[in-house]
Amino acid sequence: MVGEDPKSLVVISTLIFLLAPVSILAYVIIYNKKKKDHLIEKEQMRVRFQEELEKTQIEIQEQTLQTVGADLHDNIGQLLSLTSLTLGSIELNEFSIEQTKVNAAIELTGRSIMELRLLGRIIQGTQILEMGLIDAILQELKWIEKSGRFKVNYTFGKISCESAENGKNLIIFRVLQESLNNIIKHSAATLIDIHLTCTNDTMKLIIIDNGKGFDPAIIHEKRSGMGLMHIFKRVSLMEGQLNIQSFPGGGCKIEVLIPYP
């Protein structure tokens, strides 16, 4: 038995010597495969993000046209109708009274021009984001307030990491639009609070309403509430987090956390 020990050691040493390169080769193959899979996954994520970005641009343009159409009908159309009626009622035999009507018509025309200029900025669609994410959000909230149905409160922290060239701005803006659309269509709310901050390379968007609320579990289980599903998809695509707090009769709070920029 003692005489066989050196042979056993030689065999074991030989096996170890042979297995070591095989192990290293297997490790290299597995590592390269994982690296390749990671690159493929990263490219797929980039493609999905680009597709979502293009889709978001189209949706913002559609939302913009809806806003413009409604405002043309409800606001500017009314102002111009009043201007026409005022001018049509003028009779030249009573100068002082007619002067008042002319002044009123001039004022209505001026207001119409101001409204058209505002719409000119909005109708540019996604180009409004060149002004910055906050200015775009403020413009959106202004149109919400003009409806007279909602009181809107908003606070913006120091957005030190904002980048107008970052495609995330478009998707963040669309997430806000979609959330506001849900509130307008379904919540029966009267108050909307918006909070936007950016610290430690993380954007936090909070949207709160005092509406009728809902059960998020039921929405998720039944895959209903497509607006919320779209928001979840977009936030996930940006590797962010979406937290929804709501219950029937208790309003709703949506918190979005996104790595930024």
Q: Which domains does the chain have, with CATH numbers?
A: 1-123 (no CATH), 132-261 (3.30.565.10)
Beta bridge partners of 255: 206, 243
Edge-first strand listing for the sheet containing 252-259: 151-159, 191-199, 202-209, 252-259, 241-246
- pLDDT at res. 5: 62
Angle at which helix 5-71 crosses helix 133-146, to 10 degrees, equals 40
Mean of all residue pLDDT scores within the chain: 77
154 — pLDDT class (breaks 50, 70, 90) = very high
Give the integer Cα–Cα distance in Å for 228 and 224. Answer: 8
- pLDDT at res. 93: 67
More confident residue, 165 or 93: 93
- pLDDT at res. 250: 92
- pLDDT at res. 68: 63
Of the ranges 25-29, 55-59, 148-152, 221-225, the best mean pLDDT one: 148-152
- pLDDT at res. 2: 47
- pLDDT at res. 164: 47
Give the integer Cα–Cα distance in Å for 34 and 19. Answer: 22
More confident residue, 149 or 18: 149
pTM here is: 0.60
